[in-house]
């Protein structure tokens, strides 16, 4: 083990945070797998309550494998990127049928498990000598090596560095130490260099140029869209449709939107009454969503009518839920609605 590895591991063993998926500083593959799926595009603080609620309902992989898709979506609701939940469910069924993967390659064969997640579960829960790179590790590497690459070039260089510098005697702790350093000390802005356990090995720190790395990414080019959703109301119920596979929010439910709105307007000859609008973001898309209320005096085929009091139990897309809240609270000002 190098002096660099020893210094970082010694710091980690003293300063590591307590997390629900680290039980006595060791976690089972299922807990790590779920946590890593949830942590994609999300912070630790935001994930903890979702993780605890999920594990209370699905404490072992067998419980998840037996669950329905709708229930899994409901427990994932609020985390976004719902394909992760679908992949967890599909993967759980495979694990129950074939047993736990015992290599990075076999982890990667599960639905939705990429190079990072495979390395995380294999190293942290199974002590296999697997490297990993997330945004934190990329940033730590960029400053240690004073590498000004961006995007795919930075990721490729970081993976090469991570494999070359893996502490094979403690792969799980080493990977977590790198991520912990990036998330608590080597911050994107205003890094806490005075608390860094390895400043002597950081080229950017030695050159007093930490703030220059990683180099800024090219500015994202946003795609602006205008969408319409119609909230059908009938006899104390809301009409919902299930989102088809491959579309945004696939597998979830929401009021008719897009082509479904046009089909409903043609069928009934009524486009609904505009009650407001709000903005939301999906990947690179900035969307202005117009909300209309459509009061019905009969049940319309193709819609699932859900009583107002049962809506909380349904896996509804975030913008769909906001549109419903706007309809049910007409005349009131709600946070985040415009």
Residues annotated as part of the active site: 36
Within 8 A by CB and 6+ apart from 191, the residues are 143, 185, 210, 211
Cα angle 45, 46, 51; round to 5? 95
Least Cα distance to 9 among 169, 186, 246, 226 occurs for 169
DSSP letter (8 states) at residue 195? G
The encoded tokens of residue 4 equal: 């660099």
The encoded tokens of residue 294 equal: 């459509």
Burial class (CB in 10 A: 0-12, 13-18, 19+), 238: buried
Within 8 A by CB and 6+ apart from 182, the residues are 134, 135, 136, 137, 139, 140
Q: Rounded to 5 degrees, what are φ and ψ at 222? A: -80, 145
Beta partners for 26? 23
Contact 200, 260 (CB under 8 A): no
Burial class (CB in 10 A: 0-12, 13-18, 19+), 79: buried
Q: Is 145 helix (H, G, I), strand (E, B) or coil?
A: helix
The Cα–Cα gap between 234 and 82 comes to: 29
The encoded tokens of residue 107 equal: 């982890």
| Preceding amide of 332 cis, omega within 30 | no
Least Cα distance to 255 among 241, 237, 271, 270 occurs for 241
Contact 34, 47 (CB under 8 A): no
Beta partners for 202? none
Residues 99, 104, 106, 110: is their CA dihedral positive or negative? positive
* Residue that has been written with the tokens 């509804």 in this structure: 316
């Amino acid at each position: 083990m190098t002096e660099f590895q020893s210094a970082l591991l010694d710091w980690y063993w003293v300063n590591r945070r307590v997390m629900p998926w680290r039980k006595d500083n060791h976690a089972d593959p299922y807990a790590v797998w779920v946590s890593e799926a949830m942590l994609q595009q999300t912070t630790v603080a935001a994930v903890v309550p979702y993780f605890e609620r999920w594990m209370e309902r699905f404490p072992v992989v067998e419980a998840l494998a037996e669950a329905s898709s709708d229930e899994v979506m409901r427990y994932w609701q609020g985390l976004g990127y719902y394909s992760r939940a679908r992949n967890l469910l599909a993967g759980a069924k495979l694990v129950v049928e074939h047993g736990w993967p015992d290599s990075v390659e076999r982890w990667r064969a599960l639905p939705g498990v990429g190079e990072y997640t495979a390395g995380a579960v294999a190293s942290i829960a199974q002590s296999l000598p697997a490297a990993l790179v997330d945004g934190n590790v990329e940033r730590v590497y960029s400053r240690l090596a004073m590498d000004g690459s961006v995007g795919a070039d930075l990721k490729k260089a970081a993976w090469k560095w991570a494999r070359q510098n893996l502490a094979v005697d403690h792969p799980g702790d080493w990977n977590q130490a790198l991520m912990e350093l990036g998330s608590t000390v080597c911050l994107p802005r205003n890094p806490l260099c005075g608390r860094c356990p390895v400043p002597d090995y950081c080229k950017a720190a030695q050159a007093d140029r930490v703030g220059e790395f990683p180099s800024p990414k090219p500015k994202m080019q946003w795609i602006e869209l205008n969408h319409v959703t119609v909230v059908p109301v009938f006899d104390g119920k809301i009409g919902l449709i299930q989102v088809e596979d491959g579309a945004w929010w696939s597998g979830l439910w929401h009021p008719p939107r897009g082509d479904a709105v046009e089909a409903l307007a043609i069928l009934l000859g009524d486009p609904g009454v505009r009650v407001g609008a709000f903005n939301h973001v999906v990947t690179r898309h900035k969307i202005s969503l117009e909300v209309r209320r459509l009061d019905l005096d009969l049940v319309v085929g193709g819609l699932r009518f859900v009583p107002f009091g049962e809506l909380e139990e349904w896996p509804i897309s975030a913008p769909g839920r906001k549109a419903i809240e706007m309809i049910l609270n007409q005349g009131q000002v709600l946070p985040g609605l415009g």
